[in-house]
Structure 1
């Protein structure tokens, strides 16, 4: 087993298949799933399969707005920290953080008003990372070098 990479409570990450080269994320071991802020989302069918299209703001100074689309992996209820349940679209996509790339499941939601446009939950962290809650942004913005996983 490879040694686990230490992450801080907040980190930069990338979702390369969605065209997101850098986005700030809160690392949250209390959250089961990972969530990505979308300003707008819509559904359509491609090749007989359900897809989601969405527009996102990465939170980077300068207002980078990205429009992307991906196949829908699942749709299921998620309960937020306030105890409110909502039905959310889930995607499976590569995520890159701290030089590690792995496929993760993320849901699309409105995180307007939150400090971070991305929440990185514990299922995306499992078996690859440990968290040091006293530290943050340990690895800088993602690079496009070769991933280690």
Structure 2
């Protein structure tokens, strides 16, 4: 089944935004202003490194809390979100693990969209986030010869309007 496309205000399909093999992203709903991400069209799902995670219940629904240090030597961020799902995920070595998935906003360049991410330990990886093909489908194209086409987002998320 073809993927549904949203038309812009003029009734045209919006242009696809080009990405390099690595980009800076923000996850504003989680309080993460900027994070290095590897764009990986070979990975179906997106993965976010967490230093620690814990489960709890809110209003009878399952939630996850977690801590992440988005940049080396940077401030630790503590976030929480409802658990969307739990699924088996195979890593690049073929090892399968059960991971928590959540839904959150991704901001990358001029695009902001809802994506699914799973939480995992990526401490031995160069990038704390892996941006998989389901997160980029329909909005982005990838040029593997280029990188960081959209620059770094600001260090801090904008505060509430005064």
How far apart are 1:55 and its partner, in Å?
0.5
Please, which runs of 5 or more residues in structure 2 have no aligned partner?
Answer: 1-12
Alignment partner of 2:120 out of 106, 109, 124: 109
Deviation at 1:137, TM superposition (A): 0.5
What is the Cα deviation at residue 6 of structure 1?
A: 0.4
- Residue 98 in structure 1 maps to residue 112 in structure 2: no
Q: Which has the higher strand share?
A: 1
The Cα shift of 1:91 comes to: 0.3
The residue correspondences of 1:1-149 to structure 2 (distance < 5 A) are 1-58=13-70, 60-142=71-153
TM-score (ref. length: structure 1): 0.93
**How far apart, in 1, do the equivalents of 2:130 and 2:56 lie?**
25
Deviation at 1:99, TM superposition (A): 1.4
Higher-Rg structure is 2
TM-superposition CA deviations, 1:44-99 (whole Å, max 9, x none): 000000000000111x2432211100000000100000000000000000000011
**Equivalent pair of 1:16/1:95 in contact (CA under 8 Å):** yes
